[in-house]
Structure 1
Amino acid sequence: MRTKQTQLRATITAAALGIAALAAATAPSAAALAPAGAAPHAGAAPPGRAGCGPGELCLWTEPDYGGTRTTYELTGLTTESCTALPEGSSAQALANRTARPVTTYQSAECEETGDFETYPGRGGGTWAPESPYQVRAFKIWES
């Protein structure tokens, strides 16, 4: 009896994994469904973008979460202060998984004469696969 239960459990598990893999392989990505210039994706992490955990701000050097990822946490930052990326570096994609709004800046000094944009920090986070400018600094706000 135990062997039949084990075999049945293994068959059900294999079928569920196969269905999940098929759904992931055939489902269009959120980026493919969004019109050009659409707002950043809010909610669960886009497929294949794991690695940016709750409470983190993650910045990638390339669009579509490519290149090198840099992660920041509130424990290492001062809120409402300008945090410049290391000199000579920039980011082109980001995920705000903090519970606070984050403003990114084209300027390394957080000057508002260049481009800037605020990404809310709620739910599963805000995912931006491509920034409209090179991000060189950011501020995390209290609320």
Structure 2
Amino acid sequence: MRAAVLTLALTATAAALAAPAGAAPAAGCDPGQLCLWSRPDYRGARLVHELADTDVNSCVPLPAGTDAKSFVNRTRKLVTTYQSAECATEGDFVTFPSGTWVPESRHTIRAFQIVDQ
């Protein structure tokens, strides 16, 4: 089941794999980081998570009252974004490969998981 979801996510996000033209606001997302913005198009408040201080394969909820609408995955690992703050699969969730730029997530992101490949 997880492999099917991953395959679907990879196919659905193929257009988002390269940094879009005009993505300058997201340029501050360095290699090894997962950067999330509170508004679409890499705008609003930004949260940065680095591999050095994020548990791989663990659910990482965003701070209470915080959610994200766009993000960049530069972790060199898969990242799963969740609509649920508990990484529950009853809500919407999608897995993205490294190098993915998502100017507008298909769901409000309340948690994520960096997945060891």
Q: What TM-score do you get using the length of structure 1 for normalisation?
A: 0.68
Once residues 53 and 129 of structure 1 are traced to their aligned partners in structure 2, the CA distance between those partners, rounded to angstroms, is 17
Q: Which has the larger radius of gyration?
A: 1
Question: Paired residue for 1:3?
Answer: none
**Letter of the structure 2 residue corresponding to residue 92 of structure 1:** K
> 1 or 2, which has the higher strand percentage?
2
Matched positions, count: 103
Shift of 1:83: 0.2
- Alignment correspondent of 1:134: 108
Query: Does 2:72 align with 1:95?
Result: yes
Q: Point out which structure has higher relative CO (alpha carbons under 8 A, 6+ apart).
A: 2
Q: Distance in 2 between matches of 1:54 and 1:77?
A: 14
What are structure 2's unaligned runs of at least 5 residues? 1-11
**Deviations 1:28-69 (CA, angstroms, capped at 9, x unpaired):** xxxxxxxxxx62521346421310011100000000111011
Aligned to 1:107: 84
Where 1:50 maps in the other structure, the secondary structure is helix
Sequence identity (%): 50
Unmatched 5+ stretches in structure 1: 1-37
- CA RMSD, aligned part only? 1.3
After TM superposition, where is structure 1 displaced by more than 3 Å over at least 4 residues in a row?
none
